Chains A and B, each alone.
Chain A
């Protein structure tokens, strides 16, 4: 059991070693070695390019994520609690779930112009149905005994939401958050690639035109690292806090 502690670091080292081996063996411009990528990464940070574009993308991520989660929770809870509402909107949900992300992005740009709010809207439209479906499932599984208790003791709507409903939805909220982060940032890159003049997607597009694989890899690593930091320093502690009452 003791050695399990080192397995994650070991796997990372082996991954880097494999990358190094393949890169040195192939001697190709399209696969730079880890060292080359590290140097490019450092230069991009020092020049301020990487922090700027990464920052723009993260800003879009935070805004569109917040909007999708708030809206998705409200709609998801409403659909989960009200059968008629759900019967009516279920088809809409299926349609929006299955429209390809690229189609919504293109249509949004065509209809509303190449502006920032359109970019956010396109991301929200792509993420929203996922949140709604997840939260709706969670709401359907709410404990009716506890809901009755809240009703019997005259809990107000906000009190019921905060103390009875949201704690039960917590695992579903965390699920929607994790899958949301992964989904949203991928969509944001496409949005940026198609219609923005900054951000990760825009930069990646430039690097693609110049066949600058080292920069592409450097930017990717930066992004993966940021998401990992969010997981470690925000989501994991949230999980821990929310589950402190369990035996």
Chain B
């Protein structure tokens, strides 16, 4: 299974005076759901770009799964980034490896309740549906590591809640190692096994906290809220972050 070891000694953008990320270390055990919580602009997206291989200009070492293989990454971006000129189904089919059976698409479409609109173009669907397609696309590659960069940030709260709960159900059915970036503490507590709080310039870990609420009680908003209060009271640093 997939263990992830991240070491970024230095990531400085060309022309920047300060490094964005410095002496950053993080390890994830397989099938762990980890939320990165930090203010916007602290370097979370930079980290995800390094992990996904989009950005290779950093000093350090990132190990996803076994050595010397190219890891499969599922990336759910802040915007769905679907190809508007391809249908929902074509968008998902495009990311499959040549030896992968398209049956996985049928199962995922069915799970996300999108079977009916699979031959529609993304622009004809609601934003919530587009998010679900982006989630399917990421799960379809059966990734070694799933990256999510505030994927629900532009949704209205009820839609965000629905898509979030679908994501959780899907993840419980098909466990993957997940790194989920957010600045919404409630969302993070609802989703994560472990919370990593990040401070900015340069980005560094200030707390690493396991969420003790059992998975079966994550839908209970009072439990989420009381844990949130407890966090804010016990860790004044976190309060300053948010």
Contact = CB atoms under 8 A, between A and B. Distances in A.
A245 B137 CA distance: 19
Contacts of B79: 145
A246 interface: yes
Nearest to A247: B123
Contacts of A151: 53-54
Given A145-B77, A145-B79, A159-B94, A152 B86 contact: no
The interface residues of chain B, by DSSP majority, are classed as: loop
Contact of A149 (B81, B121, B123, B124): B81
Nearest to B75: A152
A149 B85 contact: no
B151 to A, nearest CB: 13
A42 interface: no
B178 to A, nearest CB: 16
A167 B94 contact: no
Interface size class of B (residues with CB under 8 A): 20 to 34
Contact of B84 (A149, A153, A245): A245
B153 to A, nearest CB: 15
Contacts of B95: 153, 155
Interface in B40-73: 52-54, 70, 73
Contact of B54 (A152, A155, A159, A163): A152
A149 B141 contact: no
Most buried by A among B52, B81, B123, B137: B81
A142 to B, nearest CB: 12
A156 to B, nearest CB: 10
Looking at A155, A167, A245, the one whose CB has the most chain B CB atoms below 10 A away is A245
Contact of B81 (A145, A167, A244): A145
Contact of B77 (A149, A155, A247): A149
A163 B93 CA distance: 12
A247 B83 contact: no
B123 A163 contact: no
A154 B94 CA distance: 10
Interface in B121-138: 121-124, 137
A155 B91 CA distance: 12
Contact of A152 (B73, B94, B121, B124): B73
A245 B81 contact: no
Given A159-B94, A163-B86, A163-B94, A152 B53 contact: yes
Interface of B: 52-54, 70, 73, 75, 77, 79, 81, 83-86, 94-95, 121-124, 137, 141
Q: Shortest 7 CB-CB distances between A and B: which pairs? A: A245-B121, A167-B85, A153-B95, A149-B81, A245-B85, A152-B75, A152-B52
17 contacts: A145-B79, A149-B75, A151-B54, A152-B54, A152-B75, A153-B73, A153-B75, A153-B137, A154-B70, A155-B95, A163-B94, A167-B83, A245-B84, A245-B121, A245-B123, A246-B123, A247-B123
